[in-house]
Amino acid sequence: MTRAIYPGSFDPVTYGHLDIIKRSSTMFDQVIVGVLNNSAKNPLFSAKERVDMLKKATEELVNVEVICFDGLLIDYMKQNDISVIVRGLRAITDFEYELQIAQSNRKVSKETVDTVFLTTSIEYAYLSSSIVREYASYGTDVSDFVPEFVVEKLKKCFRISEA
Ligand code: ADP
């Protein structure tokens, strides 16, 4: 049984992330979506909110589980018997960083961990959580980028912070 982890900030989850989750769920026995709880990043949504949004968006995918982790990814993987990291590649700009992380994860895990890259579906190639946050903060409609319930959460979030 191969268990894979798809780690990220998911602040918030976008259709680009969901595309990678759906595609990887057909490739592995189990896909764990790992929400990185990194307080240094000062996220818009709390780790719990990001986990809840991902759970809702993936509820129909039976072999997908959403968890929250902090600390080193490879430590979490070791403790939970996970051998594959899934990452999405949008553009060449993602590649350099991803290559470095993948190679160092392989080295420090003593070659027990591998990274699998899925290239973005062309319609989501430009999409990132930061673009979504930026547009939403100006009241621009982001319903092409994120599920409807995320649109509502973003609206609430920016209305509250404007008050
Ligand atoms: P971002 O804030 O850039 O959306 P995350 O840290 O949440 O990114 O990203 C988690 C993973 O999802 C990374 O591997 C990232 O490259 C990938 N990813 C993000 N957006 C997309 C997209 N539109 N298409 C494919 N992969 C994506």
pTM for this prediction: 0.93
Domain boundaries, given as residue ranges, for the chain: 3-125
Residue 160 CA to ligand 1 center (angstroms) comes to 27
Is the pLDDT assigned to residue 163 strictly greater than 50? no
Task: Answer yes or no: 17 catalytic.
Answer: yes
Q: How sure is the predictor about 161, in pLDDT bands with cuts at 50, 70 and 90? A: low
User: Tens digit of pLDDT for each residue in 28-52?
Assistant: 999 999 999 976 678 999 999 999 9
- Read off the pLDDT of residues 79-125 as tens digits, 9 standing for 90 and up: 999 999 999 999 888 899 999 999 999 999 999 999 999 999 999 99
Q: Mean pLDDT across the chain, nearest whole number?
A: 94
**Is 48 annotated in the active site?**
no
Residue 84 near residue 114 (C-beta atoms within 8 A): yes
| Most informative mutation of 90, 105, 131 for ligand 1 (most atoms within 8 A of CB) | 90
What does CATH list as the number for 3-125?
3.40.50.620
- Determine the atom of ligand 1 nearest the C-alpha atom of 119: 25
Q: Give me the residue label for tokens 């961990």.
A: 113
